[in-house]
């Protein structure tokens, strides 16, 4: 039921974009294949094969569909990188960051219908775009200052952890802060993908 809600939202986003004069997903992807820097493309290609294995088992593509899913994931990440890597009308720019592939992987899995994964790339792309622009904000994966909204959130998380666990924070000292920083990176950058079971993960995403 939660997965259907997310897919329905992705379909709404796709329909809304097709009804405007904005570039289509295919246009973003064509430009990305031409202009995304080789170093970024190489990083994406390194991350794609290890993405779906980190998803909850219920969301992983079946073995016979894994290559199709990985092709779709690479395309969605490339298109998102090109759409957001340069300063846009909002004056903000986001860039590909390791961990973002897990977010895109959930978008691919959630948007997937009965056909091949590549058939649903458009829905997955606009779902990821919604997360980057409307939910997290492009500053979360900012190109410069690097990831500054993420670091602000991580700083707040550190303060909250100290307030919630004052005795442990005093006992561990700097080690506690280092632990919190490590956890916030692993949890926040991929939006909890790989750390939550499927039901609470999809419930969080559905909200």
Joined together, the tokens standing for residue 4 give: 């259907």
- The more confidently predicted of residues 30 and 205 is 30
Residue 11 has pLDDT above 80, yes or no: no
- The more confidently predicted of residues 7 and 38 is 38
Query: Cβ distance 191 to 51 under 8 Å?
Result: no
Single pTM value for the model: 0.87
Specify the pLDDT at position 89. 45
Mean pLDDT computed over every residue of the chain: 87
Q: DSSP string spanning the chain?
A: -HHHHHHHHHHHHHHHHHTSSSPPHHHHHHHHHHHS-HHHHHHHHHHGGGTGGGS-GGGSPPGGGHHHHHHHHHHHHHHHHHHHSS--TTS--B---TTHHHHHHHHHHHH--SS-GGGGHHHHHHHHHHIIIIIS-GGGGBTTTTTHHHHHHHHHHHHHHHHH-HHHHHHHTHHHHHHHHHHHHHHHTTTTTTTS-HHHHHHHHH-
Specify the pLDDT at position 6. 62
Whole-number percent of the chain with pLDDT over 90: 56
Dihedral sign computed on CA atoms, order 128, 156, 93, 49 = negative
Whole-number percent of the chain with pLDDT over 70: 88
Q: For residue 173, what pLDDT band results from cuts at 50, 70 and 90? A: very high
What value, to the nearest 5°, has the Cα angle with vertex 85 and ends 81 and 88?
A: 120
To the nearest 10°, the Cα dihedral for 45, 72, 102, 85? 70
The pLDDT tens digits of the residues spanning 51-88 come to 999 898 888 999 999 999 999 999 999 999 999 886 44
Q: For residue 196, what pLDDT band results from cuts at 50, 70 and 90? A: confident
Residue 139 has pLDDT above 70, yes or no: yes
Q: For residue 24, what pLDDT band results from cuts at 50, 70 and 90? A: confident
Query: Cβ distance 55 to 196 under 8 Å?
Result: no
Specify the pLDDT at position 145. 85
- The more confidently predicted of residues 116 and 158 is 158
Q: DSSP string spanning 67-110?
A: HHHHHHHHHHHHHHHHHHSS--TTS--B---TTHHHHHHHHHHH
Specify the pLDDT at position 1. 56
State the residue for tokens 């974009």: 17
């Amino acid at each position: 039921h939660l997965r259907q809600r997310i897919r329905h939202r992705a379909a709404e986003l796709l329909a809304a974009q097709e009804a405007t004069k904005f570039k289509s997903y295919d246009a973003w992807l064509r430009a990305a294949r031409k202009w995304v820097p080789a170093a970024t493309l190489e990083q994406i290609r390194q991350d794609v094969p290890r993405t779906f294995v980190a998803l909850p088992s219920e969301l992983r593509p079946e073995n016979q569909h894994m290559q199709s899913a990985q092709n779709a994931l690479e395309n969605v990440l490339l298109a998102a990188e090109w759409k957001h890597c340069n300063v846009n009308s909002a004056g903000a720019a986001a860039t590909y960051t390791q961990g973002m592939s897990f977010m895109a992987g959930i978008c691919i899995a959630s948007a997937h219908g009965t056909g091949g994964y590549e058939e649903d790339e458009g829905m997955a792309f606009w779902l990821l775009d919604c997360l980057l622009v409307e939910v997290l904000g492009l500053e979360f994966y900012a190109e410069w200052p690097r990831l500054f909204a993420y670091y602000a959130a991580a700083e707040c998380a550190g303060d909250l952890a100290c307030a919630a666990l004052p005795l442990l924070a005093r006992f561990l000292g700097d080690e506690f802060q280092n632990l919190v920083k490590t956890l916030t990176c692993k949890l926040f950058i991929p939006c909890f993908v790989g750390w939550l079971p499927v039901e609470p993960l999809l419930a969080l995403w559905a909200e």
